[in-house]
Amino acid sequence: MTQKVEIVPGKLTARGAAIGTWVVSLLMLFGLVMAVVVLMETSFSSEPGLAILMCLFWLVWMGACIGIIVQFRRVVRASRQSGTDTLAELRFDPPDASGGAPGDLAPGADIEARLRHLDKLRHSRLIDEEEYIAQRARILQEL
């Protein structure tokens, strides 16, 4: 039983995520400075609505920046654990005609069944739209 394994590079590299972390950190700092300057220039007694709106905007801004930083840090951490700069995904092609586990789709299997299987992978978000289109085209070329 042999299976073809393909390693496909991820779309976001660890270096890109680290740079993104710094950029978003600078944006967060910019938002903090802007909020302080605006709040210092705003009279709370004459413009309480503006002060409240600015505080709400700053909270949303900071929350979004922190959320993005957390996601980028997860990518960097996962990349360090895997020992590569680019996170990758593994794709396992069906086993060859010599055999395989029951339920596996061999390359010569019914095209309709393979397309349905591919559709299930897309709906369960195991593959993205680009991968779905590429694999579908490859299956349809066998017709």
Q: Show pLDDT as tens, one digit a residue, over the chain (143 residues).
A: 455 666 565 667 777 888 889 999 999 999 889 888 887 887 777 778 877 888 898 899 999 999 999 988 888 887 777 666 665 555 666 554 444 444 445 555 588 888 888 888 888 888 888 888 988 988 888 87
Domain span holding position 107: 94-141
Our count of domains for the chain comes to: 2
Tokens of 91: 């794709």
Place of tokens 């390359």: 107
Q: What angle do CA 97, 102, 105 make, to 5 degrees?
A: 50
Q: How far apart are CA 2 and CA 94, in angstroms?
A: 9
Within a domain: 45: yes
Q: How far apart are CA 25 and CA 19, in angstroms?
A: 10
Within a domain: 30: yes
Within a domain: 2: no
Within a domain: 46: yes
Q: Phi/psi zone of residue 6: left (φ > 0), alpha (ψ -120 to 50 degrees), beta?
A: beta
pLDDT at 101: 44
Tokens of 120: 């299930």
